[in-house]
């Protein structure tokens, strides 16, 4: 069964403003994203959405249409491993191709599930049907009290885990947040902190010592991924596991380098960069080192579903990242992923990704179609 058509519906949507208290300022507003449709010669359609959160996807769509499409036409849908092996060759001269290849890989897995009438996690050998979650927001506050109140709201909503994004808070105020949130929630909530690579080594050590004192579950992306000396020092000095990295350029070979040099206590991954094929490989690699591969937000409804299928099939991931506000990254499907009565997420059980595209919504927001 071969791919006979590669179609991308280009959609435009407006999330409204979302002001954040870090270097980005605003991650909301009008954005261009895509709906990928891989259609086989017997009529099965595999889907993925292109784009994450509120960033534009024009370059990713162009790469799919101009570079990946010729590789896909007449390709047997099952030849995902071959396509994975071609990615580095196609990435010559620094072309940022992985974020374009990733939704293609997910759409091929969607075909695989639909072809046999099974969810992707079943094809991967998975068994888990509901997944633990942690809540997180982008940095929204200038004071420790804002984050402490945010934690209280999450406790009231029965969340059992919370990842803090302190953004541009001073080190002194960040430590107040670390202490204050733990004092509020007690031992009944798992806590993490993610600075999005914003600290110096000295700053990260000070915050990390506070995390150690308060039994935080991980310390995510404290410094730039290129600062290997600082990362090594942090990993050697702190009890709280260093967890890296959500950086767009941090890919499976970077993860292998960090693991082989014992630089981190956990590794980050997502289908947004690695597709399902690559994320399964990275999770297995981390498992061989005896550490978790914690899977981060994939940026849109179908790629987030792909994350869930991987989480359901591996044994070294604790949580799904439930990023808020949800409207920034949830769009275009009829049966959106929601929290169940147990405070967890049900893994979609339908064929393939298990989510149904909302064709009326897509049609309304489509501004162009590449076929």
- DSSP assignment of 133-170, as one string? EEEE-----SSHHHHHHHHHHHHHTT-SEEEE--TT--
| CA dihedral (337, 340, 346, 351) positive or negative | negative
Domain ranges of the chain: 3-118+357-370, 122-346
Determine the length of the chain. 371
What fold characterizes domain 3-118+357-370? Enolase-like; domain 1 (3.30.390)
Distance CA 107, CA 352 (A): 9
161-216 pLDDT, tens per residue? 999 999 999 999 999 999 999 999 999 899 999 999 999 999 999 999 999 999 99
- Is the separation of the CB atoms in 246 and 272 below 8 Å? no
Q: What value does the mean pLDDT take over residues 145-170?
A: 97
Q: What is the pLDDT of residue 53?
A: 73
**Reported confidence tier of residue 23, pLDDT bands at 50, 70, 90:** confident
- Is the separation of the CB atoms in 305 and 355 below 8 Å? yes
Distance CA 36, CA 47 (A): 5
* Whether residue 262 has pLDDT greater than 90: yes
82-124 pLDDT, tens per residue? 999 999 888 765 668 999 999 999 999 999 999 999 999 999 9
Q: Output the furthest CA–CA distance in the chain (Å, rounded).
A: 61
Q: What is the pLDDT of residue 177?
A: 98
Q: Name the architecture of domain 122-346.
A: Alpha-Beta Barrel (3.20)
Structure tokens at 202: 């000295």
């Amino acid at each position: 069964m071969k791919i006979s058509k590669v179609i991308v519906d280009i959609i435009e949507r407006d999330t409204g403003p979302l002001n954040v208290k870090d270097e980005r300022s605003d991650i909301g507003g009008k954005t261009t994203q895509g709906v990928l449709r891989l259609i086989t010669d017997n009529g099965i359609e595999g889907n993925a959405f292109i784009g994450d959160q509120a960033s534009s996807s024009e370059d990713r769509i162009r790469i799919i249409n101009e570079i990946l499409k010729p590789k896909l036409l007449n390709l047997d849908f099952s030849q995902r491993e071959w396509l994975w092996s071609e990615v580095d060759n196609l990435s010559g001269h620094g072309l940022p191709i992985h974020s374009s290849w990733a939704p293609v890989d997910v759409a091929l897995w969607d075909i695989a599930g639909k072809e046999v009438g099974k969810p992707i996690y079943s094809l991967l050998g998975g068994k888990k049907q509901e997944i633990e979650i942690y809540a997180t927001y982008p940095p929204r506050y200038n004071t420790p009290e804002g984050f402490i109140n945010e934690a209280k709201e999450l406790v009231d909503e029965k969340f059992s885990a919370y990842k803090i994004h302190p953004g541009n808070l001073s080190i002194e105020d960040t430590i107040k947040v670390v202490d204050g949130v733990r004092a509020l929630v007690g031992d009944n909530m798992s806590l993490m902190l993610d600075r999005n690579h914003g600290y110096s080594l000295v700053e990260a050590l000070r915050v990390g010592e506070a995390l150690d004192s308060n039994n935080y579950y991980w310390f995510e992306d404290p410094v730039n991924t290129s600062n290997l000396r600082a990362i090594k020092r942090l990993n050697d000095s702190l009890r709280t596991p260093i967890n890296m990295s959500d950086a767009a350029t941090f890919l499976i070979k970077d993860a292998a380098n960090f693991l082989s040099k014992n630089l981190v206590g956990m590794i980050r991954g997502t289908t947004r960069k690695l597709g399902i094929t690559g994320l399964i490989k990275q999770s297995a690699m981390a498992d061989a080192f005896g550490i978790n591969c914690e899977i981060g937000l994939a940026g849109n409804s179908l790629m987030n579903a792909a994350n869930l299928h991987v989480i359901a099939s591996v044994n070294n991931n604790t949580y799904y990242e439930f990023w808020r506000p949800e409207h920034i990254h949830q769009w275009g499907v009829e049966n959106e992923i929601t929290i169940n009565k147990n405070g967890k997420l049900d893994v979609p059980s339908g064929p393939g990704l298990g989510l149904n595209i909302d064709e009326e919504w897509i049609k309304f927001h489509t501004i162009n179609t590449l076929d």
